[in-house]
Chains A and B, each alone.
Chain A
Amino acid sequence: MPQHDSALATALALILERDPTLLGIVGLSLQVSLSAVMIAALVALPLGAALALWRFPGRGVLVVALNALMGLPPVVAGLAVYLLLSRAGPLGELGLLFTPGAMVVAQVMLVVPIIAALTRQQVEELHHEYHEQLRSLGLSRARMIPTLLWDARVGLLTVVLAGFGRASAEVGAVMIVGGNIDGVTRVMTTAIVLETSKGNLPLALGLGIVLLGLVALVNAAAHLLGETARRRLG
């Protein structure tokens, strides 16, 4: 165990000294995952709300598919995006493969189903309570979307953060479409895999601690915001 103890000490030192390699990796991770979650939220929040409000043939299938896609294995999403972006693929000309852009695309694919499916549930519940009043006020279904999204904002914040948790914690997709290239597409999770296999435990452990801390921070913030809002808004 002494070796592990010294690894932990070195890891903490790396964090406290703001090691440039470590900071670079953390920075890229945040950049990729935050962009992915932002894009996914812009698509998935209205999509989920629309799915809650409209009845059409095939809706049931779509809802089930969306729920199933919440568990989409990251490697499969990565493979799909890889095929899409590889030179011979339909979007090969964009030259996105092995760039942070490709990683964003892959994470968007993972996060959209989560946000859309959970948004649908929450908006449907709220709509059940509101629908008579909103129709009485003369809102069209399309006009109800912003109203309901805003009124569900507390719950939806947690939903978006769940999406962020998934994006920042997955390895498979970013590994395949990013390639874990040093200084270009190396993020926390792929670096942990690589450094562990190389035996460079301090860096791996340091990154692990930062990742854990980040997830804890995000969840604490979500909890705090949710509680405050629930108390204040009733």
Chain B
Amino acid sequence: MNTMLQAARVGIATLSFEAVSFEHRGQPLLAEVSLRLEGCRRTLVLGPNGAGKSLLMRLAHGLLTPSRGQVRWDGPPTRQAMVFQRPVLLKRSARDNLLHALAVKGTPWRLRRLLADGALAHFGLADLARRPARVLSGGEQQRLALARAWLLAPDMLFLDEPTAALDPAAIRAVEAAVDDFHRAGTRILMSTHDLHQARRLADEVIFLCGGRLLERTPAERFFSAPATPEAAAFLRGELIG
């Protein structure tokens, strides 16, 4: 009931996976995943390497098409954005990267500079506006990728292991940004390797293993009493999958 109210208030389209499978060269990588995401919660995708976490995100975001089953959006059109593990930035200045995203979005050009500089300041990049994006540090690049996503004002944000290659300070910045998006009413689907991070951020957890969705549980219950033996083993740090 609570979820329904939230969905109605925020008005973000429901994302459903209906028996979605994905194969690559005959190899099943994701099998029969069914799932509904509503409202603007923070859903963390956990699981061992090769569980299909990245695949799940790319299918949801529409970068890949399922081999079987379908991914559906029900409701008003959704603005989406994705932040990748290794940010892909254009060979331009930090500011020009943001201006490009705004141009693609169709923002009137008079507003672009103002919005871009606002986002740079918000993510602590104001001094780096004119620096070529590709020579920024890993943490700065990821913050720039987040600033770019921020400017798209997404209803739903996908983050694929956004902190995997970052140092603790940069990780904190990314997590703060995720909180910002959450407060702004963005639904979040994020994968991570880091269980501590998952504890800090998750409202609920999706647990994948071997291309199957084994569990979807509110965060508190997942970490205290996981329903499946695989998830319990994963939480104990054992090698599974």
| Minimum distance in angstroms from A21 CB to a CB of chain B | 46
Q: Is the interface of B mostly helix, strand, loop or mixed?
A: mixed
Task: Judge whether A182 is part of the interface by a CB distance below 8 angstroms.
Answer: no
Task: Say yes or no: is A94 at the interface (Cβ < 8 Å to chain B).
Answer: no
Whether A151 pairs with B63 at a CB distance below 8 angstroms is no
Chain B residues lying within 8 Å of A143, measured Cβ to Cβ, are 104
Binds B, one of A43-51, A64-72, A128-136: A128-136
Given contacts A132-B84, A136-B82, A234-B132, contact A151 B104 (CB under 8 A): no
A234 touches B134 (CB 8 A): yes
Question: B residues bordering A, Cβ < 8 Å?
Answer: 58, 61-63, 80-82, 84, 88, 90-92, 100-101, 104-105, 132-135, 148, 152
Contact at B105–A136, with CB atoms within 8 Å?
A: no
Q: Does A147 contact B (CB under 8 A)?
A: yes
Choice from B58, B62, B90, B132 contacting A147 with Cβ under 8 Å: B90
Q: Evaluate contact between B81 and A136: CB separation under 8 angstroms.
A: yes
Min CB distance B22 to A, Å, is 15
Contact with B along A134-153 (1 / 0, CB 8 A): 01111100010001001100
A198 contacts partner chain B, Cβ-Cβ < 8 Å? no
Q: How far is the CA of A197 from the CA of B43 in the complex (A)?
A: 81
B100 touches A133 (CB 8 A): no
Q: How far is the CB of A150 from chain B (nearest CB, A)?
A: 8
Contacts of A130 in B (CB 8 A): 88, 90
Nearest B residue (CB) for A151: B91
The answer to whether the Cβ of A233 comes within 8 Å of any Cβ in the partner chain is: yes
Q: In whole Å, how far is A130's beta carbon from the nearest beta carbon of chain B?
A: 6
